[in-house]
Chain A
Amino acid sequence: MSNFFNSESHELLALLLSSLRVSTPLIFAAMAGFFSERSGIVNIALEGKILIGSLTGVLAASYFHSPWMGLMGAAVVGLVIGAAYALMTIILKADHIVSGVALNLFAAGITPLACNYFYGASGSSASLASEDRFLSAPVYLALVIPFLIDFWSRFTPSGLWHRVAGEEPKALKGAGISVLKLQFTSLMISGALASMGGAVLSTFLSSSFSRNMSAGRGFIALAALILGRWKPLPTFFACLFFGLSEALQIRLQGLSFSDGSTLPVQWIFILPYAITLIVLAGFLGRSRAPKALGRIQSE
């Protein structure tokens, strides 16, 4: 069989597998975005939630000596953060984007502070022992979860209500369903999922927490959601696409040209962000956001 895989297709396969790995946190975050945005709440706070989840993941994983506990811990903290975000946007009716900025800023401040408290240095945490890290489980989760969510959204009553909340919340009110409860729950689930994405980042893709390690993934996940027209399955594929660009970036680092010079690392670093921008720019307004997205409810 060894002549079946010549080196080129071997490279390609390695790249694809790498993309899958790298997309995993994006997929979690994008699914989190789905829960929030599809029910009508703009969520630019994914970035902050990922960051908090990544620190929590490392803390819980090292304390309980299990990456699964890291994931669980992140999920629980994520539920709380989601509830806080829901409190601000739904109950206190703050502007969604402003609330998101506040949450991101808060996360950017509290994670180094907490890291300093637990590990004595604000730049990064201690590394996890390899038995406290994930081997491959998150990939399987990331493959299954979007399909589960898609089924739920299209075929169950709560999935229908969730979609309608983002389009015409008054239709739910008139039918006797509480939009407030629905959005609150959606935001809590969204917080948990995004946080889990962060845990995957720190316990699977790397082995520790470092300051600002989310590096814009929360926004790339949002771009994937827009590219995927706010539907779970197309968003999943969009995440794979962005994962590919990040994997390419890793691959290209250190690549040398025939004259021995190397590509400046900055141009490679730009790749995922530039591609996101091009996708957003090239994307015609055909992708219509949920109609009631961003609308502040008056109960």
Chain B
Amino acid sequence: MLNHQAESPFAVELINVTKRFGNTIANHQINLKIKRGSIHGIVGENGAGKSTAMNMLYGFYTPDEGSIKIDNKDVFINSPAKALSLGIGMLHQHFLLSSEESALDNILIGAEPVRPTFKIPKPFRWIRQFFKIDRSQALSTIENLLDSNSSHINLKDPVEKMSVGQQQRIEVLKVLYRSAEIIILDEPTAVLTPQETLQLFDQLRKLKGEGKTILIITHKLREVLNICDEVTVFRQGKVVASRDSRKTTESELAELMVGRVVDLHSRKIHPLKVSAQSVLIVENLSLQIAKVSKLKNLNLEIAEGEILGIAGVQGNGQTELQNFLLNPSPFFQKKMATGNYKILGQDVGHLPTRELFKSGLASLADDRLRHGAIASLSIEENFYLGLQNFPHFKNGIFSDKKNIRSALKKAKESFDIKYSQENSLFSSMSGGNQQKLVIARELAKNPKVLIAAQPTRGVDIGAIEFIHQKLREYSANGMSVILISSELSELFALSHRILVMYNGQLGASFNPERSSESDIGLAMGGAT
């Protein structure tokens, strides 16, 4: 293992590190010192540069200027292989797991023990890749690494059979198997229930106790203050501050991230009309995919102008519900679903998506930039996408370009979207503006019901305020919103009512004025 140079208390140092991609400066003169044996949080908005910096530590990129020191020694990390040899391990936000292979094989990739074991001189080492993998030896080594929470995982099972929480445990095992002393975690709690998050934090504290150094990239400010010893804030490619976590607050961190005062959690809900009609009803919906039950006897009703929050960790059926609401007929045709689905009293279960749009539905997919937009098309074409069958935007079988352009212009002003030319590529806009365009487009359908799934995921804090305000504005004017989100603070700030989705079922309803976040957190984890 590495020699810990007693003189330096720092396991990792970035010194004046700069990284450019083309004309963009992703990291500008970053100075960062991480104390050995500590848990250090890295926060910042999307595009602030935190992922770039961590990816340089893991060797995906190399710095254009500046240097990196590991244990007080200058190093040049030009590949993940090099990072691994230095004792650096990384848990990525999107798991790097091959779902077809077993958990064991996934852990072993790149460090497989083989038989025969005799020593081979360096230039011929590559022959070992043709020897037989010694899986039984690997199993016994790894079993020692399993902690009490993970002992029920069967390592021989293929990864696709495991829950998201279990998959993350596999990722952790990957890092531990390579004897990493410095562990980087990228948004580790994005996919965990509150209970699983606590378990992860216990494990991290234990690893800290063993002398390991841990870096966590996250945007969850409350968790940062909970688990981290120190926090560093990135903004627009620069490090703007480092704070002792005991001496700072969420608001201060948010302010440092954005550069101004931010109002995160205020709740301003318009009252519902007493006579508000039911706009969308789902009754007794049961849905199966590949014989696995994904939605069980689900009931959902939303009134005019109501914002209905659906809480829950991703993977409990939210995606299936969204897909069903947007395009129900294939599920019924293929006998994969049973139940009733009505919009404004009309049964819509047999209608194709474009008819649902005409019935008043609009949808913001959670993976907005993949499902809601096409990067290779122009800005104007992306605004047109989904609007092409509305009578206002067509001229017989041709598209009415004039009307589209004027609608786009209106949206540009009202949503403050920045772009130079309508026919430039969509991908030339910044991430925040892309999100705004997609939202503006959906709202241009003048929908009766908007399904908004994770509407502010990946959106900068400043734009989050703006989007929340727009949603409130439209709903005060009669638009209903089905708000599916895993951010409790967002649900509390916007919803009239919150239902919790767990294991394909919608549980009891919570009144945000009277319930607490921990009540809902428990329900998200399955407690009744």
A contacts, CB < 8 Å to B: 152, 155-158, 160-161, 163-164, 167-168, 170-177, 291
Q: Which residue of A lies closest to B110 (CB)?
A: A175
**Cβ A158 vs Cβ B133 within 8 A:** no
**Cβ B130 vs Cβ A171 within 8 A:** no
Task: Say whether B272 faces chain A, with CB atoms less than 8 Å apart.
Answer: no
CB-defined A-B contacts under 8 Å, sample of 17: A155-B133, A157-B108, A161-B109, A163-B100, A164-B101, A171-B98, A171-B106, A172-B109, A173-B60, A174-B58, A174-B80, A174-B90, A175-B80, A175-B109, A176-B80, A176-B81, A291-B99
Task: Say whether B466 faces chain A, with CB atoms less than 8 Å apart.
Answer: no
Task: Note all chain A residues with C-beta closer than 8 A to B131.
Answer: 156-157
Task: Note all chain A residues with C-beta closer than 8 A to B132.
Answer: 155-156
8 Å CB contact of B129 from A157, A163, A164, A175? A157
Task: Say whether B463 faces chain A, with CB atoms less than 8 Å apart.
Answer: no
Q: How far is the CB of B215 from chain A (nearest CB, A)?
A: 16
Distance between Cα atoms of A158 and B108 in the complex (Å): 12
**Cβ B133 vs Cβ A157 within 8 A:** yes
0/1 string, B98-131, CB within 8 A of A gives 1: 1111000110111110100000000000001111
Chain A CB within 10 Å, residue with most, of B82, B128, B129: B129
Distance between Cα atoms of A164 and B102 in the complex (Å): 11
| Additional A-B contact list (6), CB under 8 Å, known A157-B130, A167-B98 | A156-B131, A160-B133, A167-B101, A168-B98, A171-B96, A175-B111
Task: Say whether B35 faces chain A, with CB atoms less than 8 Å apart.
Answer: no
Q: How far is the CB of A180 from chain B (nearest CB, A)?
A: 12
Q: Which residue of A lies closest to B81 (CB)?
A: A176
Task: Say whether B79 faces chain A, with CB atoms less than 8 Å apart.
Answer: yes
Q: How far is the CB of B63 from chain A (nearest CB, A)?
A: 18
**Cβ B99 vs Cβ A157 within 8 A:** no
Q: How far is the CB of A288 from chain B (nearest CB, A)?
A: 9
Task: Say whether B405 faces chain A, with CB atoms less than 8 Å apart.
Answer: no
Within 8 A of A (CB), among B412-461: none
Distance between Cα atoms of A45 and B128 in the complex (Å): 31
8 Å CB contact of B97 from A157, A160, A171, A177? A171
Task: Say whether B84 faces chain A, with CB atoms less than 8 Å apart.
Answer: yes
- Known: A157-B114, A176-B81. Is A170-B96 also a contact (CB below 8 A)? yes
Nearest first, the 8 closest Cβ-Cβ pairs linking A and B are: A176-B81, A175-B110, A158-B129, A171-B96, A157-B112, A167-B98, A168-B98, A174-B96
Q: Which residue of B lies closest to A167 (CB)?
A: B98
Distance between Cα atoms of A176 and B60 in the complex (Å): 10
Distance between Cα atoms of A158 and B105 in the complex (Å): 12
Task: Say whether B92 faces chain A, with CB atoms less than 8 Å apart.
Answer: yes
Distance between Cα atoms of A167 and B82 in the complex (Å): 24
**Cβ A156 vs Cβ B92 within 8 A:** no
User: Interface SS of chain A: helix, strand, loop or mixed?
Assistant: helix
Task: Note all chain B residues with C-beta closer than 8 A to A158.
Answer: 129-130
8 Å CB contact of A156 from B100, B133, B174? B133
Task: Note all chain A residues with C-beta closer than 8 A to B174.
Answer: 175
- Interface size of B by CB at 8 A reads 31
Task: Note all chain B residues with C-beta closer than 8 A to A172.
Answer: 109-110
Distance between Cα atoms of A157 and B84 in the complex (Å): 18
Q: How far is the CB of A30 from chain B (nearest CB, A)?
A: 20
- Known: A176-B79, A176-B80, A177-B110. Is A160-B105 also a contact (CB below 8 A)? yes
**Cβ A176 vs Cβ B84 within 8 A:** yes
Q: Which residue of A lies closest to B111 (CB)?
A: A175
Chain B CB within 10 Å, residue with most, of A156, A168, A170, A173: A168
Q: How far is the CB of A163 from chain B (nearest CB, A)?
A: 7
Q: How far is the CB of B261 from chain A (nearest CB, A)?
A: 39
Chain A CB within 10 Å, residue with most, of B81, B109, B133: B109
Task: Note all chain A residues with C-beta closer than 8 A to B114.
Answer: 156-157
0/1 string, B63-101, CB within 8 A of A gives 1: 000000000000000011111100000101000111111
**Cβ B112 vs Cβ A163 within 8 A:** no
Task: Note all chain B residues with C-beta closer than 8 A to A167.
Answer: 98-101
Distance between Cα atoms of A168 and B170 in the complex (Å): 15
Q: How far is the CB of B21 from chain A (nearest CB, A)?
A: 13
Distance between Cα atoms of A291 and B99 in the complex (Å): 9
**Cβ A163 vs Cβ B101 within 8 A:** yes
Q: Which residue of A lies closest to B90 (CB)?
A: A174
Task: Note all chain A residues with C-beta closer than 8 A to B133.
Answer: 155-157, 160
Distance between Cα atoms of A167 and B99 in the complex (Å): 8
Task: Note all chain A residues with C-beta closer than 8 A to B101.
Answer: 160, 163-164, 167
Distance between Cα atoms of A163 and B129 in the complex (Å): 14
Q: Which residue of B lies closest to A151 (CB)?
A: B132
Distance between Cα atoms of A152 and B133 in the complex (Å): 10
**Cβ A168 vs Cβ B110 within 8 A:** no
Distance between Cα atoms of A164 and B107 in the complex (Å): 12
**Cβ A173 vs Cβ B99 within 8 A:** no
Q: Which residue of B lies closest to A161 (CB)?
A: B109
8 Å CB contact of A160 from B58, B84, B112? B112
Chain A CB within 10 Å, residue with most, of B98, B99, B110, B132: B98
**Cβ B130 vs Cβ A164 within 8 A:** no
Q: Which residue of B lies closest to A162 (CB)?
A: B129
Distance between Cα atoms of A173 and B82 in the complex (Å): 12
Distance between Cα atoms of A177 and B110 in the complex (Å): 7
Q: Which residue of A lies closest to B91 (CB)?
A: A174
Distance between Cα atoms of A98 and B81 in the complex (Å): 34
**Cβ A164 vs Cβ B109 within 8 A:** yes
Chain B CB within 10 Å, residue with most, of A161, A172, A174: A174
- Known: A174-B80, A174-B90, A176-B79. Is A160-B109 also a contact (CB below 8 A)? yes
Q: How far is the CB of B16 from chain A (nearest CB, A)?
A: 27
Q: How far is the CB of A265 from chain B (nearest CB, A)?
A: 42
Task: Note all chain A residues with C-beta closer than 8 A to B128.
Answer: 157
8 Å CB contact of A163 from B81, B96, B98, B108? B98
Chain A CB within 10 Å, residue with most, of B79, B80, B110, B133: B110
Q: How far is the CB of B78 from chain A (nearest CB, A)?
A: 11
Task: Note all chain B residues with C-beta closer than 8 A to A176.
Answer: 79-84, 110
Distance between Cα atoms of A171 and B130 in the complex (Å): 20
Q: Which residue of B lies closest to A158 (CB)?
A: B129
Q: Which residue of A lies closest to B100 (CB)?
A: A167
Distance between Cα atoms of A177 and B96 in the complex (Å): 13
Chain B CB within 10 Å, residue with most, of A156, A157, A160, A291: A157
**Cβ B130 vs Cβ A152 within 8 A:** yes
Q: How far is the CB of B110 from chain A (nearest CB, A)?
A: 3
Distance between Cα atoms of A266 and B98 in the complex (Å): 46
Task: Note all chain B residues with C-beta closer than 8 A to A155.
Answer: 132-133
Q: How far is the CB of A94 from chain B (nearest CB, A)?
A: 17
